[in-house]
Amino acid sequence: MRKMFVVLTLFVLVFSLVSCQTTETTTSDLPVDAPEADQQETEGIKGVDVPIEILGVVLNMDHTFQQQLAAGWQLPIEYNGQEVNVNVSVEDPQGNIEKEIEITETYIGKGIDVWIGYPLNSAAMEPLAQEMSEKGIYMITEGNNMPYETMGMVTDERDGGLLGGQMFVDWWTENRPDEVPYILVLDDPTSEAFQRKPDAFVEYVTENMPEAVFVGQQDADMTVEKAQDIVSTFILGHPEMNFVFCGVDSNVIGAMAAIEAAGRTDIAVAGCGGEDNVLPYLYEPLTPEKGGLAFEVAYKRSAIEFGYLMLTGAVQLMMDPENADYNIVDIGFTALTRENVDEFVAGKNVWLERAGMPLLDFSN
């Protein structure tokens, strides 16, 4: 009887040890990411059951274009006939690269699926772009292409500058053929991609109108105030100046204010963007001396439509990356003059209405 008891005890001990080993082996053989997979199943499908988390970073909300770009990011969107669950957080670094880096780092920590916006400095943003790439966060850029981006701007700002140069040569030849053009260029060399536009303008005019004189090329920081100060200074220091080329429309507003304050009805201005606040100038005639807003190098698509295209790209990447349109971030340029401004405004109003924003009306 004692022998039978000992045998039974040994059997129980052996069975317990085998059971423990089996349990430990099974646990260690599980995939490391198994809990995450279970969590994803619990949470649901991105864009359907749970929102696609997107960080949208504007250049500077002081610009009408950036305000409307952000509006395009926040429009409802469908994919294959079904509304997509999207949450877009819009942030404004106010043109400061340190703030842009801080914002991006914060949202990477919170957890995002897509970063869309304007990298103020590609070299400074590259480490974060690499980190996002490694973490599977898509990056869609507008206006400043950079390493590790998933989608980038197809439109080259240089093309806008070349178009501006061509428009200037044609406009000056038609309107002021007996005068020598003395040109001030307002740019922003801290913004890499943007700077390609004013530089291309200078290049084209230099090659195609050698008699033209450039009295200066100044960093106006894309602001109204700085443009006004620079133009006011050049009116005094270079009274021969008779044309100002602005790389962005906020500079047009500042330049026009300085010109009007000085009473210089002979100075003509050209801008880039076709933003709402410069369009009234195209509904006004030129002065007898051919001063005023000469023309605009406008974007072919409205800022709202462009923002919506970026959002569409983000959704495509999340829902079906293999079939996404990697050339969707394309805004293009168009020549905007008094002859076609009505058509341009009508196109803008289509997207303003879609975004629930006030329509443009220059009938008065």
Burial string for 88-123 (b: 16+ CB within 10 Å, else e) reads bebbbbebeeeebbebbeebbeeebbbbbbbbbbbe
Distance CA 90, CA 100 (A): 12
Burial of 285 (0-12, 13-18, 19+ CB in 10 A): exposed
Half-sphere CA count of 210, side-chain side, radius 13 A: 1
Q: Tell whether pTM > 0.85.
A: no
Specify the pLDDT at position 129. 98
Residue labelled with tokens 């599977």? 136
Cite the DSSP H helix spans in 29-56: 34-43
Instruction: Report whether pLDDT(26) > 50.
Output: no
**Contact predicate 139/122, CB 8 Å:** no
pLDDT range class, residue 144, cuts 50, 70, 90: confident
Query: DSSP state, 244?
Result: E
**Contact predicate 169/210, CB 8 Å:** no
Among 16-25, 129-138, 238-247, 310-319, the range scoring the smallest mean pLDDT is 16-25
**Contact predicate 52/84, CB 8 Å:** yes
Specify the pLDDT at position 163. 98
Same fold, 52-153+302-331 and 157-299: yes
Distance CA 267, CA 259 (A): 7
Mean residue pLDDT across the chain: 89
CATH 1.10.3720.10 fits domain 157-299:
no
Specify the pLDDT at position 216. 98
Residue labelled with tokens 């084209």? 204
Specify the pLDDT at position 151. 96
Instruction: Report whether pLDDT(191) > 90.
Output: no
The kind and range of the H/E element at 79 are strand 78-79
**Contact predicate 305/72, CB 8 Å:** yes
* Mean pLDDT value of segment 232-247: 98
Distance CA 320, CA 314 (A): 10
Query: DSSP state, 155?
Result: S
Instruction: Report whether pLDDT(358) > 90.
Output: yes
pLDDT range class, residue 30, cuts 50, 70, 90: very low
pLDDT range class, residue 38, cuts 50, 70, 90: very low
- Residue 329: Cβ within 10 Å count: 23
Q: Which amino acid is at 102?
A: E
Query: DSSP state, 287?
Result: P
| Residue 322 dihedral angles phi and psi, to the nearest 5° | -70, -25
Specify the pLDDT at position 190. 82
Distance CA 228, CA 258 (A): 5
* Degrees, nearest 5: CA angle 306-163-166: 160
Going by C-alpha positions, the residue among 251, 351, 341, 342 that lies closest to residue 301 is 351
pLDDT range class, residue 225, cuts 50, 70, 90: very high
**Contact predicate 250/223, CB 8 Å:** yes
Render pLDDT for 275-316 as a digit per residue (tens, 0 to 9).
Answer: 999 999 999 999 999 999 999 999 999 999 999 999 999 999
Specify the pLDDT at position 5. 40
Specify the pLDDT at position 363. 85
Q: Where are the domains of the chain?
A: 52-153+302-331, 157-299
Specify the pLDDT at position 300. 95
pLDDT range class, residue 254, cuts 50, 70, 90: very high
CATH 3.40.50.2300 fits domain 52-153+302-331:
yes
